[in-house]
Chain A
Amino acid sequence: MATVAAKTLGFLPRPTSKTGFWSWVTTVDHKRIGIMYLITAFLMFLVGGTEAWAIRIQLIRPDNDFVSAQTFNALFTMHATTMIFMAIMPLLAGFMNFLLPLQIGARDVAFPRLNAFSYWSYLFGAIFLNSSWFWLSEKGVPDTGWFSYANLTSLKFSGGLGPDFWTVGILLLGTGTLVSGFNFIVTILNMRAPGMTLMKMPIFTWTTFITSIMIIFAFPAITVALLMLLFDRQFAANFFNVESGASVVFWQHLFWTFGHPEVYILILPAMGIISEVLPSFSRKTLFGYNVMVISTAAIGFMGFTVWSHHMFAVGMGPIVNTVFGITTMAISIPTGVKIFNWLSTMWGGQVKFTTAMLFAVGFIMLFTIGGLSGFMHALPASDAQQTDTYFIVAHIHYVLIGGSIFAIMSGLYYWFPKMFGRMLDEKLGQWNFWVMFVGFNLFAFPFHFLGLMGMPRRIYTYSSNMGWDFWNLVSTIGVFVLAAGITLFLVNFGKTMSKKMDAPADPWDARSLEWTIPSPPPEHNFDKVPTVAALDDFWYQKYPDEHHKDLVRPATPVDAHGIHMPGASWMPMFLGLFNTVAGVGIMMHSTVVLAIGLVGTFLAIVGWAFEGDGGYHIEVEGGH
């Protein structure tokens, strides 16, 4: 293998280091970016988990005073904001980044520098939002809930910096997410290996595709809402000003037009992970692949038709509520199809209970519970008793932990060898699963009871005569067990990373293209661009059956110049950084800081446009 530098066209030199800290800062390699996403997001997951722990300590007994009312409100606001925007979404983005090009046989995403920019927007946005804990200004931490309903967020009712941190922070995080959405769509549509038609794509790639489309339709709604709120607070606009006759319900419509698709953005890629893990450890192809693709697309579409089910108590009247109730009930149909298709995938297979598989089976169980309580909220009259109680808290934790997080854990165990070249310890892994499974149910199942006993959400304390003491105590004990389970993963990670890299290319006898290349993959991914003749092509190369014997394979494209690799760049990091500086300027009403941010942003864009091509070619023995 030889590396040949390409000629530089622009006037700004591009960084060339391939190892060390700065090579990570300037990298545009989707695999490195994916790993950075995963590690950052896992750290944020621990931050959000610590907030959850503090919330549960406060609620361990009635009339507790572990934290003040205001701190409690800040804790639940930041817990949800962190988990949704800074932990689960970027954890899934980490998988998408790492896997998407590998699964479609590409050498990178379509826009490698934009991909890096997505990560840096995320990182600086996350640092910015969490720094609110340390500014120590009165009411400085966002404390109006992750939904931040108007007009509680107005200057009149929230005079501190809290809502400003929240608005600017989510705008920064959302920028990165939107850019990723476009990037993945273009990548999937243009960069698939020869022969990989859309209906031969791995299912995780499909869920990435649908999720990306959802992102580019959902995020503009919240971006608009956030800008309106920003204008209200910074420039005395009147979008949500009650005194000027504004409708505060308008915020709710905008927020949930984003917010409901968002929950599918959090669950569809998780379903994609499960749909990869189950076939591998059942040694069977995914049951009903076509239907799985169609149901994913159906959920993606229907996810935009149900937003008002978050607003059944708003007083929209029986007709509107009934319409949204029915659209919501309808969404359980494609979801149910998925669950039965997963069961059928395992049916007749040879199920091997690796840790990844345990988490996947756990997912089916827990997500079903979360889905069924979701179906219960879809009935507006019944929801009148459930909404804003712990019953809803139970639902979201079953779909987001039992669903998304269990899928992410499954994915981590499954793809860890591909990412880090080492196999996570299976014995510790089994402990990890069982402790998390027991801990999670101990923590979240009591929420069902508490909700049905009339405990509202978001209350920082309760009286002892309400009858809620026992299950709150159980839940708090559960959170410690859950935390122990997550700690076991960290131990496993530490232990595994100290081992030498010895993972084989295809440790699980799996089915998609990422398993055809070494673990970890070389920077150019594929020596030879793979060609695809069928769904699960790799599997049928290993185990040809009568339907997959004489497949006609497209010719491998030949590139006489070797493999072209994109050059590294400082600009994505600078652009993300100065965007954030500009945000700080807006929030602090500081013209100087704002000017630094805007000038820096402008210079980063100029640098982006005029830095040299800087790409290079890799020559591979027998490759191309």
Chain B
Amino acid sequence: MRFRGSPALRRSALGLLASLSVLLTGCATLPQNPLDPKGPVAEAQTGLLMTSLWVATVIGAVVTVLLVIVVLRFRAKPGQTEVPKQIHGSTKLEILWTAIPIAILVAIAIPTVQANFATMGRIENPDMTVKVVGHQWWFEFQYPEKSVTTANELVIPVGKKVAVELVSDDVIHSFWVPQLAGKTDVIPNRLNHMWLQANEEGLYYGQCAEFCGDSHAKMRFRVRVVSDQAYTAWVETRLAQQKGLPAATDADIAAGRALFEGQTKVKNSAGKEIPKVNCASCHAIDGTTAKGKTAPNLSNVGDRNTVAAGILENYGPDGKFDAALQAANLKKWIRNPVSFKPGTVMPSHPESKLSDTELDQIVKYLQSLNK
């Protein structure tokens, strides 16, 4: 069952509101705007929202007009001494303004029930399934049918019904991509279900919508919607990488990988050999010895549009990917993560711990993971 309200009316209403909001914000773009839906789930939800907004606006206008009439017409006039007629009520009127709201509510309940069943819960016959796992403060995305895992940037094909399963690894979060689908909570010990579908290719903004501790504000993500072919190719690349990441020909990249995997050793004060750094104890990279599970999987980190769960964007205002910007983002993040994401468990790496050269090498390695 799908939402059946008049699509033309809905579109024009949405267009009007979207342009109004653009006007109101001084022509700024609104990347996370639920009033600009790009998929059937968000369209049904926002369509209902707009219907109810119009109903509310009309009722509000009626009350306002009545209030203004009362205030203007029945002001006490100077010299008025007679006692106004004490009216105790009017059964007719009171039945009337009980019945009219009931009629309005019944009318609005019909599309509401339709939209509820169209958008909520498990979907029959999805084209594919992804699993969202919430962590403080990042999202893990698994493709159970393909045994692929990624983080903070969900890649899906355009026009496909995507069933989404959601569960949390720690506290409650909420998964929200305003232009594709409203919120579904991501809860520990509970597998939730929703679905989404994108009509157009593009990069969609998402954000955690349930307060989840210190860096709740910084728990963001993107949904990258690509063509069917591009999606298939992306999955093939993931599966190929899982068979083994080829050794780098570039010396810097190889050095960066060694650092990442904890193979570059130094002596500690007791004279014992310890890894210089060991990113792999928390992070995983497919096809390498990095198998950490507690932090985002970085197998395709060089290919992602953001660093640090949607916070630092690797593209300029024109929306074009910028490798130099990505390198700078990765560096400032690795140097001092807590300044971007208070409370994060990722340790900071000051120069005393990681020289500029070594940091460059790690970043080059990460940027090489761009397929």
Contact of A471 among B25, B44, B63, B170 (CB under 8 A): B25
Which of the residues A346, A383, A460 comes within 8 Å of B74, measured between beta carbons?
A346
Q: Which of chain A's residues has its CB closest to B206's CB?
A: A454
A314 contacts which of B71, B89, B185, B207 (Cβ < 8 Å)? B185
Q: Which of B57, B77, B98 has the most C-beta atoms of chain A within 10 angstroms of its own C-beta? A: B98
A580, CB-defined interface residue at 8 Å: no
* Chain-B contact segment, one of A27-35, A185-193, A288-296: A288-296
Q: A97-105, A329-337, A524-532, A586-594: which lies at the B interface? A: A329-337
Q: Given A152-B171, A242-B189, A452-B35, A69–B217 Cβ distance below 8 Å?
A: yes
Interchain CA distance A462-B28 in the complex, whole Å = 15
Residues in B neighbouring A121, C-beta threshold 8 A: none
Question: In the bound complex, how far is the Cα of B105 from the Cα of A375, in angstroms?
Answer: 10
Which residue of B17, B53, B85, B90 is within 8 Å of A288 (Cβ)?
Answer: B90
Question: How near does chain B come to A512, taking the closest CB pair, in angstroms?
Answer: 15
Decide if B30 touches A249 in the complex (CB within 8 Å): no
Say if the beta carbon of B9 comes within 8 Å of chain A.
Answer: no
> Which residues 52-93 of B sit at the A interface, judged by CB distance below 8 A?
52-53, 56-57, 59-60, 63-64, 66-67, 70-71, 74-77, 80, 83-90, 93
Whether B183 lies near A384 (C-beta < 8 A) is yes
Which of A127-135, A316-324, A500-508, A604-612 participates in binding chain B?
A316-324
User: Would you call B74 and A389 a contact (CB within 8 A)?
Assistant: no
Residues B109 and A353 in contact, CB atoms below 8 Å apart = no
Chain B residue with the shortest CB-CB distance to A451: B34
Query: Contact partner of A387 among B97, B109, B183, CB < 8 A?
Result: B183
Complex: A350 Cα to B70 Cα, angstroms? 10
User: With A285-B86, A361-B67, A361-B71 known to touch, is A379 a contact of B52 (CB < 8 Å)?
Assistant: yes
Pair A543/B48 contact, Cβ less than 8 Å: no
CB distance from A178 to the nearest CB of B (A): 28
Q: Which B residues touch A288, using CB under 8 A?
A: 88-90, 94
Q: Which residues of A contact B53 (CB under 8 A)?
A: 376
Minimum distance in angstroms from A395 CB to a CB of chain B = 11
Pairwise interchain contact B88-A315, C-beta atoms closer than 8 A: no
Q: Does A434 contact B (CB under 8 A)?
A: no
Contact residue among B35, B83, B174 (Cβ-Cβ distance under 8 Å from A313): B174
Q: Across the interface, which residues of B come within 8 angstroms of A242, CB to CB?
A: 188-189
A149 touches B21 (CB 8 A): no
A322 and B116 in contact, given A344-B93, A350-B74, A452-B34 (Cβ under 8 angstroms):
yes
Q: Is A418 located at the chain interface by the 8 A CB criterion?
A: no
Instruction: Decide if A496 is an interface residue (CB 8 Å cutoff).
Output: no
Given contacts A353-B75, A376-B49, are A453 and B33 in contact (CB under 8 A)? yes
Q: Is the interface of A mostly helix, strand, loop or mixed?
A: helix
- Say yes or no: B52 contacts A313, CB within 8 Å: no
Q: Which residues of A contact B194 (CB under 8 A)?
A: 315
A460-489 contacts to B, CB under 8 A, are 460-463, 465-471
A453 CA to B56 CA in the complex, in Å? Answer: 18
A69 and B190 contact, CB distance less than 8 A: no
With contacts A330-B105, A349-B84, A453-B33 taken as known, whether A69 is within 8 angstroms of B189 at the C-beta atoms is no
Q: Contacts of B211 on A, CB cut-off 8 Å?
A: 73, 144-145, 149, 152, 388, 457-458
Nearest-neighbour CB distance to chain B for A361, whole angstroms, equals 7
Is the C-beta of B348 less than 8 angstroms from some C-beta in chain A?
no
Q: Are A456 and B209 in contact (CB under 8 A)?
A: yes
**B183 lies within 8 A of A313 (CB):** yes
Q: Do the beta carbons of B59 and A372 come within 8 Å of each other?
A: yes
CB proximity of A439 to chain B, nearest CB, Å? 20
Taking CB atoms, residues of chain A closer than 8 Å to B170 are 151, 157
Q: Determine which of A157, A245, A289, A346 lies in contact with B189 in the assembled complex, contact meaning CB atoms within 8 Å.
A: A245
Residue interface bits B159-203, CB-to-A below 8 A is 1, else 0: 000000010001110101010011111011110111000000000
B354 CB to closest chain A CB, in angstroms? 25
Q: CB of A424 within 8 A of chain B?
A: no
B102: chain A residues at CB < 8 Å are 333
* Size class of the A contact interface (CB-based, 8 Å): 35 or more
Q: Which residue of A lies closest to B174 (CB)?
A: A313
Contact A381 B56 (CB under 8 A): no
Q: Are B172 and A376 in contact (CB under 8 A)?
A: no
Taking a contact as CB atoms under 8 Å apart, the answer to whether B172 and A152 are in contact is: yes
Give the complex CA separation of A467 and B205 in angstroms. Answer: 13
Whether A340 sits at the interface, judged by CB under 8 Å, is: yes
List CB contacts (< 8 Å) of B16-35 with chain A: 17, 21, 24-26, 28-35
Of the candidate stretches A40-48, A265-273, A362-370, the one touching chain B is A362-370
Known: A315-B193, A350-B80. A364 touches B67 (CB 8 A): yes
Q: Which residues of A contact B31 (CB under 8 A)?
A: 465-467
| C-alpha gap A542/B188 in the complex (Å) | 66
Chain B: which residue is nearest A548 at the CB level? B86
Instruction: Say whether A138 faces chain B, with CB atoms less than 8 Å apart.
Output: no
Does the CB pair A283–B32 fall under 8 Å?
no
**Interface 9-residue window, one of B117-125, B222-230, B363-371:** B117-125
Tell me if B213 is interfacial: C-beta within 8 Å of chain A.
Answer: yes
Please tell me which one of the listed residues B48, B88, B121, B183 contacts residue A318 in the complex, with CB atoms under 8 A apart.
B121
Tell whether A322 pairs with B70 under 8 Å between CB atoms, given A288-B94, A469-B28: no
* B186 closest partner in A (C-beta): A315
B45–A459 touching, CB < 8 Å? no
- Are B210 and A467 touching (Cβ within 8 A)? no
What residue of chain A has the Cβ atom nearest to residue B88's Cβ?
Answer: A285
Asked whether B49 lies within 8 Å of A382 as measured between CB atoms, the reply is yes
In the complex, chain B residues whose CB is within 8 Å of the CB of A539: 86
CA distance A287 to B115 in the complex (A): 39
Complex CA gap A290/B217 in Å reads 49
Q: In the complex, which of the residues A290, A315, A386 has the most CB atoms of chain B within 10 Å of its own CB atom?
A: A315
- A527–B112 CA distance with the chains assembled, in angstroms: 59
Chain A residues near B112: list those with CB within 8 A. Answer: 322, 325, 379-382
For residue A545, CB closer than 8 A to chain B, the reply is yes
Q: Are A454 and B49 in contact (CB under 8 A)?
A: no
CB pair A382 B52 closer than 8 Å: yes
A389→B209 contact, CB < 8 A = yes
With a cutoff of 8 Å between Cβ atoms, the chain A residues found around residue B29 in the complex are 465, 467
Query: Are A69 and B342 in contact (CB-based, < 8 A)?
Result: yes
Q: Decide if A329 touches B187 in the complex (CB within 8 Å).
A: no
Q: How far is the CB of B69 from chain A (nearest CB, A)?
A: 9
Q: Tell me, yes or no, whether A3 is within 8 Å of chain B by CB.
A: no
Chain A residues closer than 8 Å to B335, beta-carbon distance: none
Instruction: State whether the Cβ of A339 lies closer than 8 Å to any Cβ in chain B.
Output: yes
- Smallest CB gap from A352: residue in B: B76
A453 touches B190 (CB 8 A): no
B298 CB to closest chain A CB (Å) equals 23
Say whether, besides A333-B98, A373-B56, A381-B44, A343 and B70 are in contact (CB < 8 Å): yes
B214 touches A284 (CB 8 A): no
Q: What residue in chain B is nearest A315 (Cβ atoms)?
A: B192
**Counting CB contacts under 8 A, is A449 at the interface?**
yes
**Residue contact A466 to B32, C-beta cutoff 8 Å:** yes
Given A336-B97, A385-B46, CB of A248 within 8 Å of CB of B86: no
Whether the Cβ atoms of B70 and A347 lie closer than 8 Å is yes
A residues within 8 A CB of B34? 385, 452, 454
Q: Is A326 an interface residue (CB 8 A)?
A: yes
Does chain A have a CB within 8 A of B108? Answer: yes
Q: How far is the CB of B81 from chain A (nearest CB, A)?
A: 10
Quick check: A368 and B209 within 8 Å, CB to CB? no
Q: Judge whether A467 and B30 touch: CB under 8 Å.
A: yes
A376 near B76: Cβ-Cβ < 8 Å: no
| A20 CB-CB contact with B under 8 Å | no
Q: Please, could you name 12 A-B residue pairs with CB atoms under 8 Å apart, sorted by A? A: A69-B214, A149-B210, A317-B120, A329-B108, A351-B76, A372-B56, A376-B53, A384-B45, A385-B49, A458-B211, A461-B218, A465-B317
The 10 closest A-B pairs by CB, nearest first: A384-B182, A459-B217, A454-B32, A381-B115, A315-B192, A288-B89, A372-B56, A350-B76, A467-B28, A69-B342
- Contacts beyond the supplied A321-B116, A387-B183: 4 A-B pairs with Cβ under 8 Å: A69-B343, A337-B101, A350-B75, A384-B182
